[in-house]
Amino acid sequence: MNGGDGPPRSGDQIIHDGDGPVHEAERITRPEALQVLSKRQLAILPIGATEQHGPHLPLGTDTFMATEVARRVAARTGALLFPALSVGYSWVWRDIPGTLGIGEATLKQVIKDIAHNLHRQGLRMLVLLNGHGANESALKYAVRELADEVATKILYFSYFNHFGEAEKEVIQSPKWHGMIHACEEETSLLLAVKPELCHMERAVKEYPEVPPVYGVSALPLGSLSESGVYGDATLATAEKGEKLIQAAVDRITDIIETTWKEV
Amino acid sequence: MNGGDGPPRSGDQIIHDGDGPVHEAERITRPEALQVLSKRQLAILPIGATEQHGPHLPLGTDTFMATEVARRVAARTGALLFPALSVGYSWVWRDIPGTLGIGEATLKQVIKDIAHNLHRQGLRMLVLLNGHGANESALKYAVRELADEVATKILYFSYFNHFGEAEKEVIQSPKWHGMIHACEEETSLLLAVKPELCHMERAVKEYPEVPPVYGVSALPLGSLSESGVYGDATLATAEKGEKLIQAAVDRITDIIETTWKEV
Amino acid sequence: MNGGDGPPRSGDQIIHDGDGPVHEAERITRPEALQVLSKRQLAILPIGATEQHGPHLPLGTDTFMATEVARRVAARTGALLFPALSVGYSWVWRDIPGTLGIGEATLKQVIKDIAHNLHRQGLRMLVLLNGHGANESALKYAVRELADEVATKILYFSYFNHFGEAEKEVIQSPKWHGMIHACEEETSLLLAVKPELCHMERAVKEYPEVPPVYGVSALPLGSLSESGVYGDATLATAEKGEKLIQAAVDRITDIIETTWKEV
Amino acid sequence: MNGGDGPPRSGDQIIHDGDGPVHEAERITRPEALQVLSKRQLAILPIGATEQHGPHLPLGTDTFMATEVARRVAARTGALLFPALSVGYSWVWRDIPGTLGIGEATLKQVIKDIAHNLHRQGLRMLVLLNGHGANESALKYAVRELADEVATKILYFSYFNHFGEAEKEVIQSPKWHGMIHACEEETSLLLAVKPELCHMERAVKEYPEVPPVYGVSALPLGSLSESGVYGDATLATAEKGEKLIQAAVDRITDIIETTWKEV
Amino acid sequence: MNGGDGPPRSGDQIIHDGDGPVHEAERITRPEALQVLSKRQLAILPIGATEQHGPHLPLGTDTFMATEVARRVAARTGALLFPALSVGYSWVWRDIPGTLGIGEATLKQVIKDIAHNLHRQGLRMLVLLNGHGANESALKYAVRELADEVATKILYFSYFNHFGEAEKEVIQSPKWHGMIHACEEETSLLLAVKPELCHMERAVKEYPEVPPVYGVSALPLGSLSESGVYGDATLATAEKGEKLIQAAVDRITDIIETTWKEV
Amino acid sequence: MNGGDGPPRSGDQIIHDGDGPVHEAERITRPEALQVLSKRQLAILPIGATEQHGPHLPLGTDTFMATEVARRVAARTGALLFPALSVGYSWVWRDIPGTLGIGEATLKQVIKDIAHNLHRQGLRMLVLLNGHGANESALKYAVRELADEVATKILYFSYFNHFGEAEKEVIQSPKWHGMIHACEEETSLLLAVKPELCHMERAVKEYPEVPPVYGVSALPLGSLSESGVYGDATLATAEKGEKLIQAAVDRITDIIETTWKEV
């Protein structure tokens, strides 16, 4: 884990995130990768985004979160952990400087290409660990098409859909239209993972008014909130975030292990 | 920002950031990104790969190198540094476990989507900093098509094409068919950047024989070298690598600055 | 035209056309279409599906509902009513005989082509009236891309998302995982519109168990429910359906009229 | 089912369903569809268009005709009758308000997706019943590509190519450049099927002059005829139309039955 | 240039170049091409095919004919003559050794790319001179799409559709289902152009029987005729061919010149 | 066939067909093509371009060269020789009148379609004989994708990469940035093949200066050289060209024969 005190990343090969070490594909060699996969034909690909998260959270928030949850799940499952895809479908923020977005069809194709490549290598199960809500559609449709094309079993998790009861227990402020973006919830999450990148002194509360065409048109969502926050970021704490993360990691690991037996 | 006061990342210790701080998009907030771009409408996107680099170098070698060169160029130019794309066109290694490849047309589309997005934001110049030889074609053709589609000026550098005279000065062993892969040169480069991920005790020398259809067919290159090394990795040193990197950073920075004046 | 003097279509008897006649593009001539559009450059395209809806509802349920809601909104707004697209994205039922599905990307392209065509004709606003949940993603992404491509303002409504309070007031049984499919709600809706096609003697109650991979994999949803019903269809009545429809028509009409003023 | 006891649809009155009931997929349930296909793995998809047909015929003329011929063929053959695709390739009328056109490649893809879906379901033969001349090319090329992709045998009929001798016997006025559009022939056809939608008091005769680039350029055909009629609509009668329809239904049924034996 | 003084190509002997020299793009230099286009911004692209033409005609028959007609039209109009595209849409013969076919969509894209390129160069009119019936659809739809994309006026001629009265005057045997393929007509044409490649001693007469699914399915046309001839090749003479060619050249030239005035 | 008794084509006089006749697909009939392929399932497709080659060489230079080398290799190997594709990827000259370019993706698709067609016919080996440097990327990626799609073994040769030692022996002037274009080398080559189309009185020497963005941007290469020559064309002789061609033919033939044994 890389939660509060910021343990160094170099020499991650001996990190024990729970039951076992994390095997970061990027940082290990060919024979090591082969060994990891020989034990278990399971890999995890974190998928994030680079886009605005208000005045207090970094643009890489979604990538950091996807990576952290993926790391913990990899530690539990022994999966090979691939480096995160740090570019996602960020259409609603496309006009805000610093957003690094690709099209929905392009993201879908990236996922499909990767899955086909891993299928060739004989991978038994691929887990897509998504940290960005707007990526979900591309993942879902890619996975459906892949079901007819590759033998590799593919699971996709938007980690924030797997908090279960923990969400109600720790989060005090309401969601803005069901969205989690730079709010109490997401700020808490990043506080648990990258506290050094959170600027809580700039955290604000904003519940932008919603025009009637929200959700039924190509509304530029980015212009609704002045601050870029959608909720109350001031209520966030690292403890809340840590509880949510642990809940998600538990549930996601459970589903992976249950599914593994049936594949 | 990760200029002076930020927590160091592994491998950061030998980075010479030159004149200024590095503005990592992933680690800064929306107002900070805006400020960076307001000073200079210039951004750099490192593009790497995840693929075998012999028994001694990590799979992320190309991504680490692209990121490091991009970081230094960003420090010199004040550019916004985007997180690296860690998946590339890795067809020749597609059957080796751990390779994370996408198609050439897909990579091209990713670049095009990103460029279109940044063009919308008014970016004046985008630098693609490539760390993987096989990505080059996708970049080249993307940039040509984009020339008719976006106002953003785009430059693409495969950093290893810009060592100039330094290459002859420091590299002792011949290249295998003009390729740089897990050899003296690439191993030296990574030794300068991520020494903790290099396993020099496993470094070998291998110049695989070349079948007649090499370069004129879809030969599975991956099967030519038993070790995955194409050259003599045992001759590598961090000093050689550092000299090459500095030469590339100098030349690339020069071209960016010269071009900037004409855009 | 099919306002007052036209021959009634089966099931038309309980239609309440509101303030004005319905201008069905399919049934009027070129000069009449021109006249309708000259008064108001507004058109509605119903989008349905042809797929299983349990033992008691017809395969065309989604198309019939989209058409009916669209008819009523057209009557209120004076819009030109296009014939329904009766083929949609029906991936989850693709293996059940009688399903007539197209791909998500194909559906998106159909919508885009149509919008481009209507844009050429100078249409000011196009309303996509969707009757099938799984179509929504294709519509959403089509509309976003179109926002940069055509001048026609496009709104898309999945009518079942616009019941507001009426849903809680009339529906007694819980939804199966948030889904409306051949349940109390959908059966009530069709009872209000096509009673002659509903076979209530075959209506059943089924809440299929959900495997752990539901929502995180390409699970063949179609195999979960034996009957094809997801909820309790036995509680359905035409009165419930009529209340829901009226609520949706009111809300959708409101949004259209509000938006019209701003276009 | 809408064979004997179902409520009549407008215009249904002169339909001669031949030997058996018509199984409309849209109006029957899942078990009924299964039963129909269990008897015979044969389905018919009518394909129409929504475009101008002069001052006297409705925009849906092609869809109505495709549907009617398909209905009669379905009655003869016991095929499952799918709802019509009411949007086609209507490029030449794309600038006339009310036209609802999609691209040729898009139409082809719709057909291909549908055929792949039905192939999955084990359908033995699919009949595309086309009512619009300009759709023919998309159908032809789709069917050719599908021949290598699916096991389902596919036949496509533009019904107006199958009148045989009947055409010469009943039609008095010459065709305008081999085209059937809102002329004596097409008006007669619709008079036999949807008399209540034909406005014979507005029927005209117009044989527009043909510029030299007709047929060798992207000439906007829509601007040639002032009325939108290409021929002499005033000579049309329902009797003529009925004879033509019966001839086409006979021939199309024959080809289907002959082919069925060989599949 | 290959007008008067150039060395003759085989088969060139009976060419009647009309009023002026033929400017073959392939054989002239950059300044010469510039000069030709400076006089008149008009170019001709012959489009052929490589496919079986019975036991007596060469596979390149369609390319040779497209080239010859294009040459004569170029001589009359002063157009720049591009080299022929010798690969076309030859689906029906795709299983016969020697056929060199590409897909319909691919052929369409080739035409579109070429037109876009010539539009960039400021070409005023492009003439596509087609020698192969099955190419026509790709050309037609390419030209329609291009009408909205480029300023260059594009005309496309399948030369064999422009014989006018001459066809009836010289051709004695009936066409096989409206098709011209290795029959009296096509053999006569090639006899006039490439007599040295015609093997009249092998010319046969064959009118294959037509199965009921001809024209309504993906019938492998190639298997219908044993010889590959569809008509009576034995009646062919060079004189007949020459008359047809002259008629086509006259008509095509006329349409080009008439259209030129209006562009 | 054009082995011994056929009429010579212009420029054919210095062709040395080696061991056997050349079987030009375009000029032979169906039974002859079958016979050629029955002996050896090997075919060659020359791929050229139509683009500027300075004031002294014809636009078809690349096509002529690809064809000539292909002819000689065909004579040596008994392969079926297909007609050349005379349109290639000529992006850098796209603004110069007379260039006939298609996109890189389009060229790739053309190659893929052709290979799929020939695979259907049972062809064992296809040789792509390329005469234009910029085509190489499209060929390379097409061949890689085809390796997973067709059984036909595919080799691709850019003939100018196969001169071996002969290049150093005969060429006196340096290459301009590794490029061969209208220089001593290419001019010599064409002098050996189409002397009647070379205008040596206009041959010039030009080594354009290179801006810093050359090779790292979408630089319009076409504007660098005033004459269109990149090197010293004045040094060219037919003898030099003939030596180079013979060297390439030898090497290419060798690789084909060696590979043939292993296929």
Instruction: Answer whether residue A16 shows pLDDT above 70.
Output: no
Read off the pLDDT of each residue in A170-187 and give the average, rounded to a whole number.
95
Higher pLDDT, F221 or D173: D173
Q: pLDDT tens digits, residue range E93-120?
A: 999 999 999 999 999 999 999 999 999 9
Q: Which residues pair with D42 in a beta bridge?
A: D125
Q: pLDDT tens digits, residue range A41-66?
A: 999 999 999 999 999 999 999 999 99
State how far the Cα of A258 lies from the Cα of A245, in Å rounded to an integer.
20
Q: What percent of chain D has pLDDT over 70?
A: 93
The Cα angle at residue D211 between residues D206 and D216, in degrees rounded to 5:
120
The Cα angle at residue D219 between residues D218 and D222, in degrees rounded to 5:
125
- Whether chain F has a CB inside 8 Å of the CB on E39: the answer is no
The full length of chain D comes to 263
**Phi/psi of residue A203, each to 5°?**
-65, 135
Put simply, the answer to whether B121 touches A101 (Cβ < 8 Å) is no
Instruction: Answer whether residue B164 shows pLDDT above 80.
Output: yes
Closest CA to B82 of B118, B116, B109, B50: B118
Cα nearest neighbour of A100 on chain B: B114
Cα nearest neighbour of B193 on chain A: A10
Cα nearest neighbour of A141 on chain C: C104
Min Cα distance F91 → chain E (Å) is 9
Q: How far apart are the first and last CA of chain F?
A: 28
Q: Which residues from chain D sit within 8 angstroms of residue C34, using beta carbons?
A: 97-98
CB neighbours of residue C207 within 10 Å: 16
Instruction: Answer whether residue A11 shows pLDDT above 60.
Output: no
- Whether chain F has a CB inside 8 Å of the CB on E192: the answer is no
The confidence score (pLDDT) of residue A18 equals 59
**Which pLDDT band holds residue E158 (cuts at 50, 70, 90)?**
very high
Among A6, A94, A121, the residue with its CB nearest the CB of B97 is A121
Q: Which residues pair with B179 in a beta bridge?
A: B176
- Whether chain B has a CB inside 8 Å of the CB on F210: the answer is no
Q: Which two tokens stand for residue D162?
A: 């199958």
Q: Where are the alpha helices (DSSP H) in chain F?
A: 30-39, 61-77, 104-120, 136-147, 165-170, 184-193, 238-262
Q: Containing H/E element for C213?
A: none
Read off the pLDDT of each residue in E249-258 and give the average, rounded to a whole number.
97
What does pLDDT average to over chain E? 93
Put simply, the answer to whether B144 touches F91 (Cβ < 8 Å) is yes
Q: pLDDT tens digits, residue range D42-82?
A: 999 999 999 999 999 999 999 999 999 999 999 999 999 99
Read off the pLDDT of each residue in D26-45 and give the average, rounded to a whole number.
98
Q: pLDDT tens digits, residue range F21-60?
A: 999 999 999 999 999 999 999 999 999 999 999 999 999 9
Q: What percent of chain C has pLDDT over 90?
A: 88
Q: Which chains touch B (3 or more CB pairs under 8 A)?
A: A, F
The set of residues, in sequence order, having a beta carbon less than 8 Å from that of D30 and lying 6+ positions away, is C52, C53, C54, C55, C59, C96, C98, C228
What does pLDDT average to over chain B? 93
Three-state DSSP string of chain D: CCCCCCCCCCCHHHCCCCCCCCEEHHHCEHHHHHHHHHHCCEEEEEECCCCCECCCEECCHHHHHHHHHHHHHHHHHCCEECCCECCECCHHHCCCCCCCECCHHHHHHHHHHHHHHHHHCCCCEEEEEECCHHHHHHHHHHHHHHHCCCCCEEEEEEHHHCCCHHHHHHCCCCCECCECECCHHHHHHHHHHCHHHCCHHHCCEECCCCCCCCCCCCCCHHHCCCCCCEEEHHHCCHHHHHHHHHHHHHHHHHHHHHHHHHC
**Which pLDDT band holds residue B81 (cuts at 50, 70, 90)?**
very high
Q: Are the C-beta atoms of residues C93 and C51 closer than 8 Å to each other?
A: yes
- Whether chain F has a CB inside 8 Å of the CB on E204: the answer is no
Q: pLDDT tens digits, residue range B22-58?
A: 999 999 999 999 999 999 999 999 999 999 999 999 9
The segments of chain C whose pLDDT lies below 50 read 1-17
The confidence score (pLDDT) of residue C244 equals 98
Tell me how many residue pairs between chain C and chain D have CB atoms under 8 A apart: 201
The confidence score (pLDDT) of residue C1 equals 28
The confidence score (pLDDT) of residue B222 equals 83
Helix (H, G, I), strand (E, B) or coil at B20: coil
Helix (H, G, I), strand (E, B) or coil at C80: strand
State how far the Cα of E105 lies from the Cα of F112, in Å rounded to an integer.
13
Instruction: Answer whether residue F87 shows pLDDT above 90.
Output: yes
Q: Are the C-beta atoms of residues F122 and F83 closer than 8 Å to each other?
A: no
DSSP codes, A209-230: ---TTTTTS---GGGT-SSS-B
Put simply, the answer to whether A255 touches C155 (Cβ < 8 Å) is no
Read off the pLDDT of each residue in F164-176 and give the average, rounded to a whole number.
96
Put simply, the answer to whether A255 touches C213 (Cβ < 8 Å) is yes
- Whether chain D has a CB inside 8 Å of the CB on C94: the answer is yes
Residues 220..259 of F with a Cβ closer than 8 Å to B: which?
Answer: 254-255, 258-259
State how far the Cα of A131 lies from the Cα of A53, in Å rounded to an integer.
13
CA E211 to chain centre: 29
The set of residues, in sequence order, having a beta carbon less than 8 Å from that of C178 and lying 6+ positions away, is none
Min Cα distance C114 → chain D (Å) is 6
For the packed helices D184-193 and D61-77, what is the interaxial angle rounded to 10 degrees?
Answer: 60
**Which pLDDT band holds residue D9 (cuts at 50, 70, 90)?**
very low
**Which pLDDT band holds residue F98 (cuts at 50, 70, 90)?**
very high
DSSP label of B3: S
Q: What percent of chain A has pLDDT over 70?
A: 93
Cα nearest neighbour of A254 on chain C: C212
Read off the pLDDT of each residue in F164-170 and give the average, rounded to a whole number.
97
Min Cα distance E99 → chain D (Å) is 17
The confidence score (pLDDT) of residue B19 equals 67
Q: Which two tokens stand for residue F149?
A: 């799609």
Q: pLDDT tens digits, residue range D107-131?
A: 999 999 999 999 999 999 999 999 9
Read off the pLDDT of each residue in D120-145 and give the average, rounded to a whole number.
98
Put simply, the answer to whether D212 touches E255 (Cβ < 8 Å) is yes
CB neighbours of residue C254 within 10 Å: 13
Instruction: Answer whether residue A6 shows pLDDT above 60.
Output: no
Instruction: Answer whether residue B103 shows pLDDT above 50.
Output: yes
**Which pLDDT band holds residue E15 (cuts at 50, 70, 90)?**
very low
Among F144, F215, F255, the residue with its CB nearest the CB of B213 is F255
Q: Which residues from chain B sit within 8 angstroms of residue F154, using beta carbons?
A: 217-218
State how far the Cα of F101 lies from the Cα of F99, in Å rounded to an integer.
6
- Whether chain B has a CB inside 8 Å of the CB on F147: the answer is yes
- Whether chain F has a CB inside 8 Å of the CB on E212: the answer is no
Cα nearest neighbour of F217 on chain B: B155
Closest CA to F42 of F126, F128, F153: F126
The confidence score (pLDDT) of residue E18 equals 57
The set of residues, in sequence order, having a beta carbon less than 8 Å from that of F178 and lying 6+ positions away, is none
C and D make contact (3+ CB pairs below 8 Å): yes
Read off the pLDDT of each residue in F110-124 and give the average, rounded to a whole number.
98
The confidence score (pLDDT) of residue B18 equals 58
Q: Which two tokens stand for residue F184?
A: 């001593």
Q: Which residues from chain F sit within 8 angstroms of residue B213, using beta carbons?
A: 155, 255, 259
Tell me how many residue pairs between chain D and chain E have CB atoms under 8 A apart: 57
Q: Are the C-beta atoms of residues C211 and C227 closer than 8 Å to each other?
A: no
Cα-Cα-Cα-Cα dihedral of D159, D164, D170, D176, to 10°? 70
Instruction: Answer whether residue E13 shows pLDDT above 70.
Output: no
Cα nearest neighbour of F46 on chain E: E86
Instruction: Answer whether residue B213 shows pLDDT above 80.
Output: yes
The set of residues, in sequence order, having a beta carbon less than 8 Å from that of F94 and lying 6+ positions away, is E117, E120, E121, F101, F222
Min Cα distance A142 → chain C (Å) is 9
Closest CA to C119 of C146, C141, C156: C146
Q: Which two tokens stand for residue E112?
A: 């579109």
Cα nearest neighbour of A94 on chain C: C144
State how far the Cα of D8 lies from the Cα of D194, in Å rounded to an integer.
13
Q: pLDDT tens digits, residue range F180-214?
A: 999 999 999 999 999 999 999 999 999 999 998 99
The confidence score (pLDDT) of residue E220 equals 78
Q: Are the C-beta atoms of residues F152 and F125 closer than 8 Å to each other?
A: yes
Read off the pLDDT of each residue in B95-107 and give the average, rounded to a whole number.
97
Residues 9..28 of E with a Cβ closer than 8 Å to F: which?
Answer: 9-11, 24-28
Q: Which residues from chain C sit within 8 angstroms of residue D11, using beta carbons?
A: 7
Helix (H, G, I), strand (E, B) or coil at F84: coil
Min Cα distance C141 → chain A (Å) is 8
Instruction: Answer whether residue F6 shows pLDDT above 60.
Output: no
Put simply, the answer to whether A258 touches C212 (Cβ < 8 Å) is yes
Q: pLDDT tens digits, residue range D196-234?
A: 999 999 999 999 999 989 999 998 788 899 999 999 999
Q: pLDDT tens digits, residue range A80-133?
A: 999 999 999 999 999 999 999 999 999 999 999 999 999 999 999 999 999 999
Among A140, A157, A213, the residue with its CB nearest the CB of C259 is A213
Read off the pLDDT of each residue in D169-191 and give the average, rounded to a whole number.
96
Exposure string (b/e) for A9-36, b if CB count within 10 Å is 16 or more? bbebeebebbeebbbbbbbbbbbbbbeb
Q: What percent of chain E has pLDDT over 90?
A: 88
The confidence score (pLDDT) of residue A59 equals 98
User: Which segment of B194-203, C195-204, E4-13, F245-254 scores lowest on mean pLDDT?
Assistant: E4-13
Q: Which chains touch C (3 or more CB pairs under 8 A)?
A: A, D
| Pairing verdict, β C23-24 and D153-158 | unpaired
The confidence score (pLDDT) of residue C12 equals 34
F and B make contact (3+ CB pairs below 8 Å): yes
What does pLDDT average to over chain A? 93
Min Cα distance D40 → chain E (Å) is 20
Closest CA to C227 of C54, C98, C79, C82: C54
Put simply, the answer to whether C216 touches A157 (Cβ < 8 Å) is yes
- Whether chain D has a CB inside 8 Å of the CB on C4: the answer is no
- Whether chain A has a CB inside 8 Å of the CB on B149: the answer is no
Q: pLDDT tens digits, residue range C76-91?
A: 999 999 999 999 999 9
Residues 105..134 of F with a Cβ closer than 8 Å to E: which?
Answer: 106, 109-110, 113-114, 117-118, 120-123
State how far the Cα of E208 lies from the Cα of E237, in Å rounded to an integer.
23
